[in-house]
Structures are given as C-alpha cells and as structure tokens.
Structure 1
C-alpha cells in the first residue's frame, strides 16, 4: 500500500486494510452483523441478530488465535526492545523477537509450537494500535519500498491533550486474550 503514489488512494487503502484486520483478528461482536452493517443499505434499518455459532466471535475461537498472553511481559518487551532499542526493528525482526521471547510472552500452557499464534499476536497488536508500522517518507509512493523498510514503533494514543503509549493502557488491549 505504501508504494501507491497517490496519497489519497494510499490513505483509503490503509483505512480499508486496518478495518479488515480488526474484523479478522480482533472482532468485538458477531462478524455476520459487522458484514451486514458494512454492505447492506443503511436506509433500510433492520434488526440484526447474532449467528450464535457460525463465526469466530460467537464461538469464542477468536480468543484462541494466540492463547493466553502475559500482558506485563509483552509490555516490557515492547518498551525495552522496540521503544528503547538502540536500533529500530523492522517487522521481520519484530516477529523474530516475539518468537525468541515466546516463553515469557505466552502462558505456559499456550506456548506456540509453530509460528501461527506469534503472527496472530503481532497482527492483533497492530490492529488495535499497540504497535504501529512506519516507513521512511522518502520511500513512500515509490517502487523502492521493500518489506525490510517497514519499521515497528510502539503505538501511541491521544490522552487528555497529550500522546501516550497505547500498550500501557489496559483498555487498549481489547481483542487480545491476556492475563
């Protein structure tokens, strides 16, 4: 998306991809209702009912994308290894960091044996803003932009007139199965 030269189109695509990412990895209600609201004509209001057992939200499977995550450990790892790092991490290096520290991050009964839950956790963190991706402005809109240029930053949120770290505010963790 960041290779798209037109900034308005780039912004439109980013909004759409983050909306889809939240829908897939951190649903906050029945995914069928979300789809209906997205695609049905809003001038014909309808009462929508949950599917009860046909989507990952209603079955509770969305909580199993990652298993249980130690919020304090993950927060400390992001703060020390991303925010306070001597060198900025690209997304690939961030995935490797989470994989290396999985024993501290995941509950002992949920330590992943494969990469799926690690990728899911990173996507959840991105979807809810605990981490943010950044690209050097000189590469935006060019074909020179490659995956290695996508850097990870600690996410920020606006709080009472100042920017704060999203990861330290418990309400920002909605969508991640943490303890």
Structure 2
C-alpha cells in the first residue's frame, strides 16, 4: 500500500512537472518571429520617443515634453516586462539617441533636427511621433493573438492618443 501511494504521488509529481514545463515552453515559444520583432521594435520606438522628448524638453523648456517623456519611460518599462514575460532576449542602448534599428536612428536624427528649428516644429515632431506610434501599435495589435500582448499594446495606444491630443491642443495655441 505504501509503495502504491508513493508511485501515485511520484506519478502526480512527474505529471505536474511536465505540465509546468509545457506551459513555460508554450508561453515562451507561442509568439511568431514577427511578433517578437515587433516587440523589440516597439521597445526601441518608445525609447526613441523618450530620447526625442528629453532633447526637446531641454531645448524648449515646454511642460508638454517634460510630462510626456515621463510616460514614455513607463511605456518602455511595460514593453520590457512584455519581452521578459515571453522570455525574449533584447538589446537596447543605454545611450541617449543611439538605436539598434537604423530606421529609428534615422528618424531620431531627422526629428531632432526638425524639432530644433522652433517650438512649433518641436510640437509637430511630437505629433508625428505619436501618429507613427499609433500606426505601429495598431499594426502590432492586429498581428498578435496573445491576450497579454494586446492588453499592453492597447494601453500604449490609448496613451498615444492622449499624447497626440495634447500636442494638437498645444499647436492650436500658436
């Protein structure tokens, strides 16, 4: 009887380990390469927004840039958590204005140059960043079936809509 209970317990224990292992593996590998690439891109895109807004906050001393750059830092953390929860390795430069993505590097350089011309152009840069972010988030949401990923992206999308509205309000004052 004792041996039978031990065998039952051992069987349940092994089934539990197998289930946990399968769960962890399926969560880590359930994303397509496209979804993984989008997550990594979204992280850098949030960093690009943060770096541009930080630069423009210093250049023009406008409250909108100081406020929204704080949001962008939170957005980066949300995407990092998303990557980490999916066990996706990623790299991101700790240096301001430096990006792995050449597309984002060129965009950053162009936006810094444009935003340096005037406060109106700086606000237009903010508007452009948020419009790009909205488009990219909509694409990312449509390309995933993962509920947690959709939730994070939807939160970021709503924040981008709010940021876009704030830039439009500020632009209407000029």
**TM-score clears 0.5:** no
With the length of structure 2 as denominator, give the TM-score of the two structures: 0.25
More helix by share: 2
Which structure: larger Rg?
Answer: 2
More strand by share: 1
With the length of structure 1 as denominator, give the TM-score of the two structures: 0.25
